[in-house]
Amino acid sequence: MQESNFRFTADMVIEAAWIIPVEPHGIVLENHAVAIADGKIVSLLPRDEMAVRCSAGQTQQFGSHVLIPGLVNFHSHAAMTLMRGLADDLKLMDWLSNHVWPAEAKHATAQFVYDGTLLACAEMLRGGITCFNDMYFFPEMTARAALDAGMRAALGIIVIEFPTAYASDAQDYLSKGLAMRDELKHESSLSFCMAPHAPYTVSDKSFEQILTLSEQLQIPINTHLHETQDEIRESMARFGMRPLARLEKLGLLGPNFIAVHAVHLEPAEIALLARLGCSVAHCPSSNLKLASGIAPVDKMLSSGINVGLGTDGAASNNRLDVFCEMRLAALLAKANSQNAETLPAHTALRMATLNAAQALGLERKIGSIEPGKSADLCAVNLDSIELSPCYDPASHLIYAAGREHVSDVWVAGKQLVGSGRVLHMDENGIKRKAAEWKSRIAETP
């Protein structure tokens, strides 16, 4: 991967039985090593060549592992982890209107968001996730938790028309979100998105302002879109058009636009998203659990749409597990298309890494193992009885392995997970906080 023969120094070298760099697409490197200096990847070479050419302060050897880029959770509501399992087996609007929103009205304070996000960060790190795209109230507290956890976060500047404990109206949401961005924009591990909640909760006037801000700040827009048939019927009744058509009319669609869920799309809408360079955040577990439907990912991919993978919130999933999403996305796409060649393993991994990074404007920093990028890495141990034998590590990652096989995780070259345990966080303290919140929330009428 690096052709010149000069010798060089590095802070650390990681050797692995296999490395899947994601870019170039579809390759598996055997017995290679990654050299890291100042938090960045400086070289990717065969292990023996690396030993000759690189003088490293530390070498870590993973003789039965596959090394991949850190996973990117393309859509989450991290703080909602404190509501995991609160109200299950319900329709989306019943779940939201009668359970989630009332609980949030009473409990979604700044401290709730910090504690819930820290809990989510510990779970995500243990599952190989190094970056998450979040949409929730008090995003400054999400940022604080992500910084304390050492993770990357793309923070949504959330906009919704009704009042909450966080803000009183759309203008207040925007004002507070923009102030949060101004305060934190110099943090290298944080990035930002405009995050209007959904077409059914955001007005045309607010969408127009969001578009202007997105263009001025050069940040993406992500919104829940075409998640359910009820959403589409309501839009037809209120606006005389489907939600996607309304957003097209308002000018929101383009390379900076991320449609979250996009379950119910007609062929012309898929063609429109592809033609305008939009991205889709596919959340298969949440879509199935809420009976929203199965997104036509096979048709999206064949049309050239950039599709990434997200978990959604733990309140509707109920796990922040991108390994689960990779496997489920691949299997559903095959069944939906009735073609076993649809969405192969390497594509599923790319959706969970580089595709999501690209949509978030982070593809120059993360998403693949390439010199010059941040050393956000995940080691997965394939030496267990349920993973034996291993003919193809890429296949194993998607169809056989799970987050329980993640052994080590690094963000910007700093090791945050070792031997399956988070190294820098008080897991017992986090669990105690979660139990305290459960007691309060369970008392909500």
Any domain includes 399: yes
C-alpha–C-alpha distance, residues 32 and 357, integer Å: 24
Tokens found for residue 421: 């345990």
Query: Could you give the number of structural domains in the chain?
Result: 2
Q: Do residues 101 and 15 both lie within one domain?
A: no
Domain carrying residue 135:
71-359
The predicted pLDDT at position 4 comes to 54
For range 208-233, the mean pLDDT:
97
- The pair of structure tokens assigned to 353 is 């890494």
Instruction: Determine, yes or no, domain membership for 291.
Output: yes
pLDDT for 443: 74
Largest CA distance in the chain: 69
Residue 137 DSSP one-character state: S
pLDDT at 445 over 70: no
Q: Compute the average pLDDT of residues 386-402.
A: 98
pLDDT at 395: 98
**Whether 63 and 97 share a structural domain:** no
Q: Is residue 440 part of a domain?
A: no
Is residue 395 situated within a structural domain?
A: yes
- Block residue for tokens 């080691």: 379
Last residue of a domain, one of 359, 389, 424: 359
Q: What is the 3-state secondary structure (H, E, C) of 348-376?
A: HHHHCCHHHHHHCCCCCCCCCCCCCCECC
CA distance 9 to 53: 8
Q: What are the CB-based long-range contacts (under 8 Å, 24+) for 273-278?
A: 273/244, 273/300, 273/303, 273/305, 274/300, 274/303, 274/304, 274/305, 277/306, 278/253, 278/254, 278/305, 278/306
Mean pLDDT of the chain: 96
Helix (H) or strand (E) holding 186: none
Lowest mean pLDDT among 19-23, 27-31, 424-428, 441-445: 441-445
Q: Which bin fits 323, alpha (ψ -120 to 50), beta or left (φ > 0)?
A: alpha
Residues 342, 247 share a domain: yes
Q: Taking residues 225-237, report their average pLDDT.
A: 97
Confidence band of 128 (pLDDT split at 50, 70, 90): very high
Contacts of 359 (CB under 8 A, 6+ apart): 74, 220, 258, 279, 281, 306, 308
Note the pLDDT of residue 442.
86
Residues 308 and 269 in one domain: yes
pLDDT of residue 1: 43
Residues 83, 55 within the same domain? no
Mean pLDDT of the 392-414 span: 98
pLDDT category at 95 given cuts 50, 70, 90 is confident
Q: Count Cα neighbours of 165 within 13 Å in the Cβ-side half-sphere.
A: 17
Tell me how far the alpha carbon of residue 388 is from its chain's centroid.
29
Q: What is the pLDDT of residue 3?
A: 46
- Per-residue pLDDT of 139-162, as tens digits, reads 999 999 999 999 999 999 999 999
Give me the CATH number covering residue 189.
3.20.20.140
Mean per-residue pLDDT for 198-212?
98
> Angle between the 243-250 and 267-275 helix axes, to the nearest 10 degrees?
30
User: In this structure, is residue 420 part of a structural domain?
Assistant: no
- Segment 12-29 mean pLDDT: 98
How far is Cα 132 from Cα 124, in angstroms, rounded to an integer?
9
Query: Do residues 60 and 165 both lie within one domain?
Result: no
CATH number of the structural domain spanning residue 384:
2.30.40.10
127 shares its domain with 265: yes
242 band by pLDDT with thresholds 50, 70 and 90: very high
Share of the chain above pLDDT 90, in %: 94
The predicted pLDDT at position 2 comes to 46
pLDDT tens-digit readout, 305-336: 999 999 999 999 999 999 999 999 999 999 99
Whether residue 205 sits in one domain with residue 56: no
- What residues contact 77, with CB distance under 8 A and at least 6 apart? 134, 135, 136, 312, 313, 315
159 in the same domain as 46: no
79 burial via Cβ count (<10 Å: 0-12, 13-18, 19+): buried
The pLDDT confidence band at residue 300, using thresholds 50, 70 and 90, is very high
Residues 27 and 131 in one domain: no
Q: Tokens for 122, please give them.
A: 């510990």
**Domain membership flag for residue 427:** no
In a domain, 76, yes or no: yes
**Tell me: the pLDDT tens digits for 253-289?**
999 999 999 999 999 999 999 999 999 999 999 999 9
Give tens-digit pLDDT for 169-180.
999 999 999 999
Domain assignment present for 371:
no
The proportion of the chain whose per-residue pLDDT surpasses 70, expressed as a percent, equals 98
Question: Of 10-14, 88-92, 375-379, which range is least confident?
Answer: 88-92
Do 86 and 146 fall within a single domain? yes
- Please indicate, yes or no, whether residues 62 and 108 belong to a single structural domain of this protein: no
